[in-house]
Amino acid sequence: MAKTFAQAQVVGLDLNAQKFSDAPNNFRFIQGDLSFTLPQFAGQADIIHCRCVAQHVKDPQALVHQLYKSLRPGGLLLLADGDWIVYDQHKKLVEPFKWWESNTTSSKSGESIALEEDSRGRSWYAGWLNFFGNLTRSKDYRPIEELVKGIEGWMILDSRRYLSPINWPGDGIENGEDLGKVLNINQRNFFLGAKEIALHAGLSREMIEIWGRHYEAEVESGHFYNVWYYVTAQK
Ligand SMILES: C[S@@+](CC[C@H](N)C(=O)[O-])C[C@H]1O[C@@H](n2cnc3c(N)ncnc32)[C@H](O)[C@@H]1O
């Protein structure tokens, strides 16, 4: 954004440190909790792009309120978030495998894992997403459009849902070929990155290994879509 709009001052905010190898001079990054970093910009921002963060903060409604306060009158909010559900090639919801409902052993003590095929025809890929959605999403989260509507003063200009294919171009999806490739890398990395969290949540290494095998195979040959939501609102 900073490169495209050289006349703008662009500020990135995140809890975690980020590396920017070739950031231009009109960009700076502030590391910290949004509830402390955003108030520094009260009434100052012309545009805020907040992507895939709202579901991770403790109080998503308070975040959207803070975003409102950070904008100038007339300023634009581009609020985006993903969901932990998966659609099949016919755009029907895929049933997730839920290990806690299965007989598959998942104890840390490494008892035998007998029932590898216990997914009952449900998707391991959708199951992993479902599992992580339940683990990481704030209990006070609501769809982003509702969060925006929860604050008086916004005018919603646009609200839409995007489907992005994984490892295939999708059916009638704009830029589907590229999206399919990006999501393929993204979702494979997601499994690897989430392994440690799964261990902490009580899954055994054996169970994660089995899950990983099925997950990989499904991403390789399945025709899935992930879903994303985008709301554009004006103050
Ligand atoms: C799914 S990632 C999205 C990252 C990035 N916005 C993007 O779209 O690629 C969620 C991000 O929210 C950040 N995050 C979670 N809680 C936060 C908070 N209270 N303050 C600032 N950042 C937070 C995490 O550090 C993480 O980078």
Q: Mind listing the pLDDT tens digit for each residue in 123-160?
A: 999 999 999 999 999 999 999 999 999 999 999 999 99
Q: What is the pLDDT of residue 205?
A: 86
**pLDDT tens by residue, 213-225:** 989 999 999 999 9
DSSP for 167-191, written as a single string:
SS--SS-TTHHHHHHHHHHHHHHHH
Which whole number is the average pLDDT over 193-214?
A: 88
Q: What is the pLDDT of residue 203?
A: 84
Which whole number is the average pLDDT over 169-180?
A: 96
Return the structure tokens found at 102.
């299965």
Residue 90 confidence (pLDDT) above 70: yes
**pLDDT tens by residue, 31-56:** 999 999 999 999 999 999 999 999 99
DSSP 8-state symbol, 89: T
Of residues 177 and 101, which shows the higher confidence score? 177
The CA-based angle 187-125-193, given to 5 degrees, is 40
Find the 192 Cα to ligand 1 centroid distance in Å. 18
Q: How far is CA 59 from the centre of its chain?
A: 16
Angle, helix 205-221 to helix 176-200, in steps of 10 degrees: 170
CA atoms of 33 and 230, how far apart (whole Å)? 23
What dihedral angle (degrees, nearest 10) is formed by the CA atoms of 122, 127, 133, 135? 120
Q: What is the pLDDT of residue 116?
A: 52
| Cβ within 8 Å of residue 215, ≥6 positions away | 124, 125, 128, 191
Nearest Cα residue to 31 out of 22, 40, 18, 21: 18
- What mean pLDDT, rounded, does the chain reach? 91
Residue nearest to atom 4 of ligand 1 (CA): 52
Residues with beta carbon inside 6 Å of ligand 1? 14-16, 33-34, 51-53, 56-57
Find the 213 Cα to ligand 1 centroid distance in Å. 28
Structural domains of the chain in order of their starting residue, each with its CATH number: 33-234 (3.40.50)
Find the 103 Cα to ligand 1 centroid distance in Å. 35
| Residue 204: band (very low, low, confident or very high) from pLDDT cuts 50, 70, 90 | confident
